[in-house]
Structure formats: C-alpha cells, structure tokens
Structure 1
Amino acid sequence: MDATGAKHMKRWGSTLDSVVVYAQGAVCRRLARGSVSPDGRVRVTGLPRSLDPGSLRARVLGAPGVRVTGVRTEVEAEPLGTGAPDEVRREVERLGDEYAAAQARRDRQLNLIEEVGALRPVPPARRREDPHRRTPVDAWLELADFVDERLAGLHKRLVELEEALREVEHELTVAADRLARASTDAPSAHVETTVCAALTLDGTGDAEVELELEYTVPGAVWVPTYRLTHRQGDGSGRLVLRASVAQRTGEDWTGVRIALATADLRRRTDLPRLRSIRIGRSQPAPAPSGWREPPAGLVGLFSGYDAAGPRAVTTAAPVAVAAGPAPTGAAGGGSSSGPVPPPPPAPQGYGGPPAAVPVPGGADGASPEVFGGGMPALPRPAGARPGDRPRSGGRSFAGAPAAIAPAGPGLAAPPPPPAPMAGPPRPSGAELDYAALVLCGPDEQGGRRGRLFPGSPFDPMAAEYRRRAEAVAALPLPGQAVRPRESAGSFDHRFDAAARADIPSDGTWHTVTVGEIPVGLRTEYLCVPSVEQTVYATSVISNSTDQALLAGPVEITADDDFLLTAALPTLAPGGVGRVGLGPAEGIRVTRRTSLHESTSGLRNTTTVLDHRVHVELANRLAGPVTVEVRERVPVTSDPDVRIEERADWTAPEEGTGPDRHAPGTRVWRLDLPAGATAALDGGYEIRIPAGKALVGGNRRS
C-alpha cells in the first residue's frame, strides 16, 4: 500500500467488549463501527502492542452481504502531545535529579570534613646551622580548637544532608514502585506506538458496518477463590465464586465482560502421523522441502520499470577496501580512475543469490575483485526452464561458475566450492515461515526483485512487549491458591462472570466476582484418636450443579461471623468434598488400648496377639453432632499370618486424591445428642506361626 492510500484510509476507533482469560493468556474481542470508503479499506485502531499477529480475526456483524477479504496488523508511531498522562514518569525523573543533587551535596560535605580533619601543624624547615626552636604550644592549641569547632559545624551539616538524602531516596523509591505498578496501557516513551488492523471489505454499500476483531494476548492469569456463607443447622449454603485476575497485556480492561477458562491457549493442534516400520538399516525420513518453481516471466515483469530510467540515488554505495598494495590508478596521489567495485550482493534469502566470497589480492598487487557469482549448477528438476531460479536459498539451475583469482605468494588457495546437493533445494525454517516472507520491490537488486525473502517482524518491539507481558505468570499466588491447569485435571471448564468488570494492566491481582453457586452443606466431626486425641470439625460440601468447582481458598462464614480461610478441593459435578474447620473444643475423645499375648495349636506353634481398643466420646455442645472415628488394623501379604477383626466398624469407601484412605482404615460413625456420651469397643487378633515370628522384634507396638 502506498503512503497516499494509507493516509486517506478511514480510521475507526474500537472498544474492548469481552475477554476470555485462559490458564495463561487471553482472547480479546473488540467492536468497531463506521462507514467504509469506496475502495473498501478500513483501519481499526486501539489494538495492544503485545498481541499475536497470527491470531487476528475479523468478521462483519449484522450485514449478510458484507464480508472481510483481508486483514493484517500494522504499526504506527506519532509523537505524544503535551497532555499525555505521564505525570508519574516525570515525577520519577524529577526525584532522580533531586536524589543525584542531594547525593552530590553529601559527598562534597564529606570531602570538606576530610580536608578539615587532615589539618596538621607543619613546622618550618630547619637548616643545619640553625639551633633547635621551642614549639609554640599556644599555636598548636589554637589550631586544634579551630579544627574541633569547624568539624562540629560540618558534622551537624552532614547530618542534615544525610537526612534530606534519605527523604529524597524514600520518595524516589515510592515513585518508582508506583511507576512499576502503573498500567502498561499508557505509552512508555515520548513517541506513542500503536498497533492497528488494516481490513479490506467487500460489498459494503453506503450503510454503516459493525466489525468484530478477535485476537490473543499473553500476560493474563487467574486463580479461583470462594466465599461460603451458611446458617448453623441448614443443609445448604451459598458459595460465591470469585477469581483473582492479573494481566499485563498493555491495555486496560474497562467495563468488559469477563470469562474464565481452564484450557491451555497454546495446546497442540498437530495430528498424529503413522510411520512405517523398517526392517534393516535405519534411514531418516526426508523432510518436506517446501520448494516450488518460480513463476515464468519474472524477469520481464520489470521491463517497463527499467525502461523508465534509474531512480535518484540518495545514499553512496559502499566501497570495498582490500588490504595490500594500492591500485595503479591511485599512485602519485592522483584521483582514482580504477573501476569502482560493485556493491556487495544481497543476503541469502528465499529465491535470492548466494552470498559473496571475498578473495585476497593476486600476486600482481592489484585490488581484489568482489565476487558475487552463483554456486555451481544443480540438476534441473523436470519441467524447469533454463534461466529460471527456484524460490530457495540462492541455488540456481543454470548458474555461472565464479571466477576465482589465483592465489598469490604466501597466500593459501581458496577452498573448493561445496559439492552440489542432489534433489530440489530445501529452504530453511525462516524461509518456510510464509507469514513472515516479504516480497522485494523493483528497486531491489536483480537477484532479489520480485522474490520472497524473510523480512523483519511487523513490530521490532513486539517481542519485548510480549516478554514483559509473560512475566505476570511468575506472580506469587494468593494463599492456598492453585493454578487452574493443576486443579482442572483432564477436563476443561469455563466460567462467565455475571457483570462487567475493570482490570487495569498493572500486573497485580484483582478480584472479580463470577457468580453464586448453591451447594449442599452439612457439618461433621472427625477424629483419629490413634494419632491425636482431638476432634476436628469439618464441612462436607456437595456439588449438585453441572459446573465443576476448582481447588482454591474459601472464606467460610457462619451466621455472619467469619470463621477461617480453608482450602477447597476440586469438586466435579455431583462430587462431595470435605473442608476442615479446626478443632472442636466441645467434644472430648479418649482412647485406651490393651494387648494380650498367648499361644494356640497342638504344640503351641501359633502366637496369638489380642489387641483391644476402647474409645470414649463426650458431646458438650448445645446440639446433636455426627462423629466419625477412624481406626486402623494391620495388613499383611503373608498367607500364613491371619488377622481376625472383632468390632462393628466398617471399611470406608475408596476415595480419590486427599480422600483416599490408607489400607487397613476402619470407620465408626455415630450420632451424639447434646450432652451425651458414647463408648466404642473394637479389636483384632493377629495369629503368627512360630516359624514366622520375629525374635526380639517390635511387633507389639
């Protein structure tokens, strides 16, 4: 596009409407509206610098006959006005200057103190024939008094200067921290660089058109948080789902609809390929070349441009300077009349000539030539015509061999040219990135004009902006928070916020309320007296909705009183989880055990270890409670060792994750009325054959 067309292209402003935040990164959706010029070209502004150019998508809303035929990203730069929001940056610069000035004043004061402190009386030089003089003690004392008085005043001034330096340093630190936490939506230099989308529309007519732009940006993360409120005695509660969102994408999300997803935005999309099994010597599979023949008549495409005459040259061509004797035409200080060496050839690219190989000067002392000849000819594929060049890294079908200068005395001969490669040329990875290839214009050199070469990125600073944006993934998580990809497991979930939200691009955590989820809730008490004789209160939460609950911190409130912040496990739809609430001081538990050892059998060949367990519970709360007591029995893999249980306990159901029980776990569940007590008795016998017994072993613990 020429400069005139870009200048007169219509510019539309855009508004960020919705954002979907993934486990890392986000998909943004912008809306733009306006009238289209007759040529159908529109430029939509307001895009962030950190966007992925390959993810830009555009479509027309509410106009069936209009479609988008082309879309690309462009970078624009213009100087900032005087009213740019740069007060924080200017404040940091001002405080930096004040800090440097205060530090210089402090250093000068220290130097002055050092100079005054170095004052010493120096007696005059005595000649050999002069007698010894008496020391004037009064002069010495007067000098000492002067130094002490002067140093006292200087040190007092030094304290004031150091205090002023500390104050300026503190203000500078606060301002620098405020600048670091400021939104990255504001420009960071005196030149404002913006990214816009250049679109081409077809079938526009005269009516206004509404466009939707969608693109991905890095630098956005989120973790779930919850708040659980319930009433004592109720079987249900309200779980408010909130999200801590942090983003540094370069644009403020103001009044946007927020959606949260656990999916990986950079997930793989390549399909599996089945390879053959070879019996014999292993051979690597040939990589696809990505090469095709150049179009016919490429040289004649620019004949009219060349017939118009050369354009004015504004820059001087580089001159090759060789080491060695000067050319003959330069002798005697006269003007150089020798031939001017041609400019170096273009860098090797997709369809261009090979790089030049410099050769030292010959034996006659003449300046070396600048060689830019092609590589040796390669076999021409079927269907290729003489003179055609492939769109590859500089290899030609019918190249002319380069004339190599003979080696002079004391100079090594140039290395022989590399052997030609068989088959079609294979471009490099940069040359196969078709989105980054640039078509060279008619002003390029003969080997580059009209061909595709790897070009520079559309925005040289885009990589730096993306690096700064991705640094938000290293933020420390809130307490007991879990990354969505870790808690979601094998499934992905999406949560849509009920209202629009504001999230600035400052790289800090912001809380967004997503919605309210009804959950089933009951309070149970759990104790493991063999480990600790304390009863713990727990909340059993059941998820009866069709939406999963991810692991994260939950603030529990009972009867409008805040209890604590606990860790909620991941609950699938229909799942049940347990959250600990801490020790219950109103319920007491006591455990006593006894062991009786005996023998049995015809010859007393079996040792019998009879274990008895006695547990007592006392409820001192004002209401009834449900208590779960967990015990354990030994397990064995030896068929000769038998374990017989003597209790009414039961084996718990197999759980997953934190609810997974260890082998041998047994459970008592009982309901205790207010002020009631209960006693639980259980036990087991271990029968060990005499040959299996461990003499002196600690098997009775």
Structure 2
Amino acid sequence: MESGEAQRWASSLDAVVVYAQGALCTRVARGTVPADGRVRVTGLPRSMDPGSLRAKVVGDHGVRVTEVRAEVDAELPGTDSAVSLRHEMERLRDACAAAQGRRDRQSGLISEVTALRPVPPTRKREDPPRRTPADAWLRLAEFVDERLRGLHLRLVELEEELRRVEHELSIATDRWVRASTDVQSERVATTVVAVLTLVGTGTGTGTGTGTVEVELEYGVPGAVWVPAYRLTHRQGDDSGTLVLRASIAQRTGEDWAGVRIGLATADLRRRTDLPSLRSIRIGRRQPAPAPSGWREPPVGLADLFSGYDAAGPRPVSTAVPVPVAAAGPVPMPPVQQGYGTPAAPAPAPFAPAPASPGYSMPPAMSGPVPPPPPAPQGSGLPPVAPAEPTGFAGAVPAAFGTAVAAPAAPRTPSGRPSGGAGPAARRGAAPAAMAPEAAVRAGPPPSPPVAVGPPQPSGAELDYAALVLSGAEENAGRRGRLFPHTPYDAVADEYRRRADAVAALPLPGHAVRPRESAGSFDHRYDAVARADIPSDGTWHTVTVTDIPVGLRTEYLCVPSVEQTVYATLVLSNATDQALLAGPVEVTSDDDFLTTAALPTLAPGGVRRMGLGPAEGIRVTRRTNLRESTSGLRNNTTVLAHQVHVELANRLAHAVAVEVHEQVPVTTEPDVRIEERADWTGPEQDSGPDRHAPGTRVWRVDLPAGGSATLDGGYDIRLPATKALVGGNRRS
C-alpha cells in the first residue's frame, strides 16, 4: 500500500517541556491499527525538527512501532485564517473611511447653516434711513437655531458611529498584526504528518487489538521562558509562600491549548556526544592515524540487495523498446563519497541504467549486458568486433565490479545510428568509419582517482548523530551505507528562522535567562495545571507551583554612607530545587510592597533581598575625632575616632536592625588600629554576600516605639613623621 493510502489519525498536543531555548512537544493519537499497519498521524507543525521525531505505543496492546518518518502534505486552510483577518481589517477600514466622510459632510452642513445671517441691501447716499425688519431677523435666527439643533444631534450620532468603527478597526488591526503563526496565510497550506508502521509483538500485524494510543515526541525551536515569583508573607511569621510563575513566549507555529507545561533550564540544542581528545606527541612527525570510529563496509554488502535487484524495477507504460545504451552511460559508484566508502570497495553487482520513458527493463537483467546483435545485411557497415572484458571503451573498471561491455548505439531500421543515444553512449560504441581493430585498441576511459593509504573521512561523515542509512532505492554506491542527512524540506528552514526570532524578545524587568542563573546545574519544574499559550511571539505568564520558603524580616543601614534604614527579607530555600533569579512581587499583610530582584537561591541556601527604605525607622550618626601624641618622646600620633549612632523605631511591631560600620585597615607594619566597641564581624563573608575589608556589624532589637544608642570607636596609631592620605582630621 502506498503511503498516501494509509489510514489517517488525528492528534492532539498533550504536553510541552520548554527548555532554555526550544521545546519538546508530545502529541497523542488514537485509532485502530489497519491491516497493513501503516498510519499517518496529522497535526505536526512545519517548524518541527525531523531528526527529533520519536513514537511509541502507550500501554500493552500487543503492538509496537517499527518505523516513523516525517512527510509533508498539502491541504486547504481553515476558515479562520490570516486572509480572513486581513479582509475583515480592510472592510472595517473602508467602513471607517465612509463614516469619517459622513461626519465631515455633516460638519460642512453645520458650517454652512452657521454662516447664515441677514444682509441688508446696499443703501445709497441719497436714500433715507430704512426701518430694520426685526421680525424677519428673528424668524431667521429661529430657523438657524432649529436647523443647527437637528444637525448637531445628527453629528453626535455620526461621531459615535465613527468612534465605534475606529475601535473595531483597531481591534481587527491588532488581531491581524498579532495573529498566531499557527494560522496559515497561504491558499494551500502545508502540514507535516508522521508516517508510522505498527506491527504486533507476536504473530500478525497487531490488528484487532482495539483502540491503540500512540505518543509522538518532537522538538521545535522558537520557545523561551524566564522565571517570575510572587511572595506573600505576614509580619512576625518565620515562613511564607513563594509562587513560582513563568513568562513564556513561543512562536513554534502551533497553539498550545490545554497542555501540561514543564520548564527546564537545559539547552535543548546542546550536543551530548563525547569530545574527541587527541594526544600530543613530541618527536618525529608521524602520519595521522585513521579515525577510530570509521569502519569499512562489510564484505558482501551488495549481496544483501540481490533479491531486490532480481525483483526488477517498478512496471511502467510499455512502448517501442529502446536499447539500453540509449538511456545513458553505465552508472559508476563514486569513490570516497560518504561515510563507510573504502578505498577499494567490494565488488557489487551491475546496476542497470535508469530506463528511459516507454522502456521496461527485463526482470532478469542483473548480470552483464549481452553483446549487441550484428548489423543487418546490406547495410554497408562493418561488423562490430566482439567485446573484450577489459579492453574497450565504455567498460566498467574492475575495481567497481565485473567489467561489462558497453552496448552499441541504437540504429534505425536502415542500419544507421539513430542519434537517440546521449554523448556518453556514443563514446561507448565505435564510429561507423572506424575499423574493428581500432575499436579493440581503444583503451578504457580514465578511472576515477582511487585514494591511497588509510581513508580520511570528513567531519560530516564522522557526525554519527546526523548520518542516515541509505535504502535499497538508492544507487549502488550509496545503498546500505551511512551518509550525512540533508533537510527533508527546504521551506521548513524559513519556518524555523521565523520561530527563532522569539529569542530576541526584550526581557521583562529584573528577568534573567535560565541558562545564566542556573549555572552548571539543570533543573526542571512542572506546572500543577494545564495552560494555554498561543503562538504569537509575546510573553504569557502561567502559574507553575507553590514553593514554601523560610522568611525573616531584617533591617539594614550603613549610616556612614547614608542615614537611611532599608528593609530586607532573608530567604532560606529548604526544598531540593534551586530558585532561579528573577522578578518577585512582594506582598506583606495583603499590602503590595514592591517588585524586587530575587537572586539565585540554591537548595539549602540563604540570601537577602532588599525591599527598599523603611520610613518608620530613623537613624542618626555623629562622629568625633581627637588627635594626640604618645610615647617616650611623643613620637606616636594617636587619632581617636568616636562613633555615636541613635536608632528610633516608629513601627507598630518589633524590628531587628543591623548597623554596619567601617574600620580602616592597613598593611604598614608601624601603623596600628585599636578598636574600642562591642561590634562584631559579618557572618557571611563569601560569594555574593562578600563584605568589604574592615566591615563591623551591630545587631540591635528594637521594640515597637523604642529607641537605642550605639557607641563605639577606634584609634589609629602611626609614627609622628607620617600622616594619613588626605589629612589626619577626617570623619
């Protein structure tokens, strides 16, 4: 049965795993297995990577998939296409222009009626004064007022209609501009189908097993995602809820409607093959060894297709028989072409030349071509000499198989050459004016160059993931061997290029791409509910899951730099998954606080996240410097620094405040720093929380409405002959 006659199964998208760039889609198709086991599953996108197509049977139905390949079909597009959206936009544009024209004409009528006013006749110098017709003027004013009232009412209706049409036009234009790439714009749409071959695990083809469910998995480009969060906590609680959300944008060519969403930080296009490690040798130069992964084809590879050749070609329409030489020269397998082609390949049976239209190749013609018949009597042409195995023009070299004599050129019933043979066929036979001895002396044509030494396959021939096994329908030099795969559809490259444009979308605020924040590890997050994401190339936010985190509110200030207290949240991740960097909306006691940037939080890690200034806590810092001398001869200068910090809590709850101060450090052996305070060093002094050298911390617990005073200081002792850079008297 031909593939076009196979049974068609409709499929629906069930699950999508979005990677850092690209996605892995899973489709489900159900149906009854036909007698021949051939099924065509429809609904695959045009941007699909054909090398990633996989298929399997779900459940134990006594059926398994033995073959799957992708093909392109043509079909008529549906009614909801980009063409209909464009027609609707053009219709509304014409309606908007008509409404605007009616509004302009109404405005012109109002202007004309407004310009109506009484014009008295021209008075001559000798005429006496005339009485003004006040009644006529009043009647004209009443007419103008009544006429303008009706015109203005009509103008209001026309302006309302114009606003309505303009609104509909803007919606139609936006729908057309942001139309999903899943909608085909061509009159004849092309779709990708998966051709499956199902066979039973026991005897037979597996028919009669009822409804069978098949899962198709394939990769598509044009999908990206970035994490986002929403944090909710209560004042005084040591825990909170972090809702993981994802901003997803996809332009894969198919709408994701009601699918299970998975998010992964891995790179879908990253190669997983092992690198080639080459040794470095010191000494005399040696020839490069042959690649270890390359193997010559086994002996007798061509014998595998002897039954295929014995069956003969497909039947074609019969016509006047034409000699074999008229179809062109004898095809010769290439040398050193493709993966696995040795320098001296094994003998292969003769592959007959492709038959010309109207000629049917005999089924049993798999060996040498028989010698041509003798010339007719009375034709005046000398008889053609018998063909020698290896000594005449047109013979196939022995390196490619058994030498076969090239047949003579076709002749007309009168005995003259017909001229229907191609140039190669005319070169294979001796001209009519040439003696038979000359035909024998003509040596074989130059053979293709044969590689000497170990084979040197190219990099494409060693890319095992991209190699495809050629089938029996290929020519004798390719079938049964591995060759680099070429794209099955050149138009699909354009679809993939358009899909990859989604990677250039500007990121939302504080967003970080997963590969940048995940580091050396990969993580996966599965959404708890199904979601809808259209293929429009814009960001769509979906809720993934809730993550319990530990929270602690702390306040931080560095009064030596800025006398402002900042609120911070200390997050602790007690789960086994990392929290990637991204924007987080913080809500405290049902009040929205701010949108901050959440740093990457590894499992078990603790990080601090800033929330902005805390207006309810005040801090004041004062310093005092006292310079003196000490020593036996007053040879030491003592700079005594005193620091006074005051804190006041105006909030309705108790707070914990960290006050950071800076103590100078020195590398001079004759300069000493003596501290006089109860501060301590920072707890974390590594990674992103690394502090500057000399940082000191005060930790103070302030009750609601309370205050605290912190006093500290340090002495700088240096020789009297030296001074600090910038002067000794500094704050």
Does 1:590 pair with 2:620?
Answer: yes
Q: What does residue 137 of structure 2 align with?
A: none
In 1, the alpha carbon distance for the partners of 2:165 and 2:398 equals 71
Following superposition, the deviation at residue 477 of structure 1 comes to 0.9
Matched with 1:516 is 546
Q: Show the counterpart of 2:238.
A: 235
Residue 224 (structure 1) aligns with: 227
Give CA-to-partner distance per residue, 1:34-88, whole Å, 9 cap, x none.
1111222211111111122121111111116322111111111123366757421
- Compute the displacement of 1:234 (Å): 2.8
Contact kept? 2:82, 2:185, Cα under 8 Å: no
Partner of 2:719: 689
With over 3 angstroms needed to count, the CA separation of the structure-2 counterparts of 1:69 and 1:228, relative to structure 1, is same
Cα distance in 1, alignment partners of residues 479 and 601 from structure 2: 62
1:292 is aligned to 2:322: no
C-alpha separation between the residues in 1 aligned to 2:270 and 2:62? 35
Could you say what secondary structure the match of 1:469 adopts? helix
Cα distance, 1:253–1:447 mapped onto 2, change above 3 Å: closer
**Paired position in structure 2 for 1:540:** 570
> Could you say if the C-alpha distance between residues 342 and 309 of structure 1 is closer, same or farther in structure 2, counting changes exceeding 3 Å?
closer
Distance 2:643 2:238 in 1: 34
Q: Work out the CA distance in 2 between the residues paired with 1:487 and 1:347.
A: 56
- Cα shift readout 1:360-414 (whole Å, capped 9, x = no counterpart): xxxxxxxxxxxxxxxxxxx99578449999xxxxx987489x99xxxxxxxxxxx
**Which residue of structure 2 aligns with residue 35 of structure 1?**
32
CA drift of 1:508 comes to: 0.8
Cα distance in structure 1, aligned partners of 2:50 and 2:97? 43
Which residue of structure 2 lines up, in the alignment, with residue 155 of structure 1? none
Query: For the pair shown, which has the larger CA radius of gyration, 1 or 2?
Result: 2
- 8 Å contact 1:350–1:427 — kept in the other structure? no
Specify which of 487, 505, 510 is matched with residue 475 of structure 1: 505
Q: Secondary structure, in 3 states, of the residue corresponding to 1:637?
A: coil
After TM superposition, list the pairs within 5 Å mapping 1:115-154 onto structure 2.
none
Structure 2 runs not aligned, ≥5 long: 99-163, 201-205, 352-395, 404-423, 428-445
Partner of 2:259: 256
Match of 2:48 among 45, 48, 51: 51
Could you list the per-position Cα deviations for residues 314-348 of structure 1 after superposition, in whole angstroms to 9, with x for gaps in the alignment?
xxxxxxxxxxxxxxxxxxxxxxxxxx999799999
2:217 maps to 214
C-alpha spacing 1:397/1:437, structure 2 compared with 1 (3 Å): farther
Task: Please tell me whether the aligned partners of residues 335 and 343 of structure 2 are also in contact (alpha carbons under 8 angstroms).
Answer: no
Of residues 164, 173, 180 in structure 2, which corresponds to 1:183? 180
Residues 177/308 of structure 1: CA separation in 2 closer, same or farther (3 Å cut)? closer
Distance (whole Å) between structure 1 residues aligned to residue 729 and residue 671 of structure 2: 13
Q: CA 1:206–1:417 in structure 2 vs 1: closer, same or farther (change >3 Å)?
A: closer
Helix, strand or coil: the match of 2:258? strand
> Do the aligned partners of 1:386 and 1:397 also contact (CA within 8 Å) in 2?
no
Q: 1:77 aligns with which of 56, 74, 84?
A: 74
In the TM superposition, residue 647 of structure 1 has moved relative to its aligned partner by 0.7
- CA shift for structure 1 position 565: 1.1
User: What is the CA distance between 1:264 and its match in structure 2?
Assistant: 2.0
Compute the displacement of 1:510 (Å). 0.8
Name the Cα RMSD after superposition.
Answer: 4.3
Work out the number of aligned pairs and report it.
Answer: 565
Distance in 2 separating the partners of 1:584 and 1:307: 85
Q: Does 1:665 align with 2:671?
A: no
SS in 1 for 2:510: coil
Displacement, 1:604?
A: 3.4
* Residues 626 and 669, structure 1, Cα contact 8 Å, conserved in 2: yes
Distance 2:498 2:534 in 1: 15
Counterparts in 2 of 1:91 and 1:518: CA distance versus 1, 3 Å: same
Q: Is the 8 A contact 2:566 2:610 kept in 1?
A: yes
| Equivalent of residue 488 in structure 2, options 452, 458, 461 | 458
Q: Secondary structure at the match of 1:212?
A: strand
Aligned-partner SS, 1:609: strand
For 1:266 and 1:234, how far apart are their aligned partners in 2?
44
CA contact (8 A) 2:296 2:342 kept: no
Structure-2 residue corresponding to 1:498: 528
Q: TM-score normalized by structure 2?
A: 0.68
Is 1:279 matched up with 2:314? Answer: no
Counterpart Cα distance in 1 of 2:563 and 2:538: 43
Give distance in 2, aligned partners of 1:448 and 1:18. 39
Distance in 2 (alpha carbons) for counterparts of 1:184 and 1:638 = 69
**2: distance between equivalents of 1:275 and 1:450?**
31
Q: Name the CA distance, whole Å, in 2 between partners of 1:695 and 1:235.
A: 47
Change (3 A) 1:233 1:28: same
Out of 610, 613, 618, which is 2:640 matched to?
A: 610
1:172 Cα deviation after fit: 8.7
- Could you tell me whether the CA contact under 8 Å between 1:349 and 1:431 is conserved in 2? no
Q: Distance in 1 between matches of 2:91 and 2:491?
A: 27
1:270-295 per-position Cα deviation (integer Å, ceiling 9, x unaligned): 22555434112555744638463483
Q: More deviation in 342-351 or 630-639?
A: 342-351
Tell me what 1:121 maps to.
none
DSSP-derived class of the 2:495 partner: helix
CA 1:280 to 1:605, structure 2 compared with 1: closer, same or farther past 3 Å?
Answer: farther
> Could you report, residue by residue, the CA deviation over 1:90-127 in whole angstroms, capped at 9, with x for unpaired residues?
346778999999xxxxxxxxxxxxxxxxxxxxxxxxxx
Name the CA distance, whole Å, in 1 between partners of 2:625 and 2:608: 34
Q: Is the 8 A contact 2:302 2:349 kept in 1?
A: no
Q: Tell me what 2:580 maps to.
A: 550
- Could you say what secondary structure the match of 1:88 adopts? helix
C-alpha distance in 1 between matches for 2:494 and 2:500: 10
Q: Which region of structure 1 is more displaced relative to structure 2, 594-603 or 446-455?
A: 446-455
The one-letter code of the counterpart of 1:592 is R
String of CA shifts for 1:442-475, please: whole Å, max 9, x gaps: 8x7x878898776752222121111111111111
From 624, 633, 651, the equivalent of 2:681 is 651
The alpha-carbon distance between structure 1 residues 613 and 439, as it changes in their structure 2 partners (threshold 3 A), is: same
2:623 equivalent to 1:621: no
Aligned position for 1:154: none
Contact 1:441 1:450 in 2 (8 A): no
Q: Describe the SS at the equivalent of 2:488.
A: coil
Alignment correspondent of 1:16: 13
User: For the structure 1 residues 657 and 181, does the alpha-carbon distance in structure 2 shift closer, same or farther, using more than 3 Å as the test?
Assistant: farther
1:265 aligns to 2:302 (yes or no) = no
What letter corresponds to residue 682 of structure 1 in structure 2? G
- Matching residue's letter, 1:178: R
Corresponding residue for 1:110? none
Residue 452 (structure 2) aligns with: 422
SS at match of 1:640: coil
The 10-residue stretch of structure 1 (610-619 or 277-286) with the greater mean CA deviation from structure 2: 277-286
Please tell me the residue identity of whatever aligns with 1:598: S
Quote the offset at 1:622 in angstroms: 2.4
* TM-score for both structures, normalised by structure 1: 0.70
Report the identity percentage: 69
Structure 1's 32 and 54: CA in aligned 2 closer, same or farther, altered over 3 A?
same
Contact kept? 2:469, 2:483, Cα under 8 Å: yes
Aligned position for 1:143: none
Q: 1:569 to 1:307 in 2, by over 3 A?
A: closer
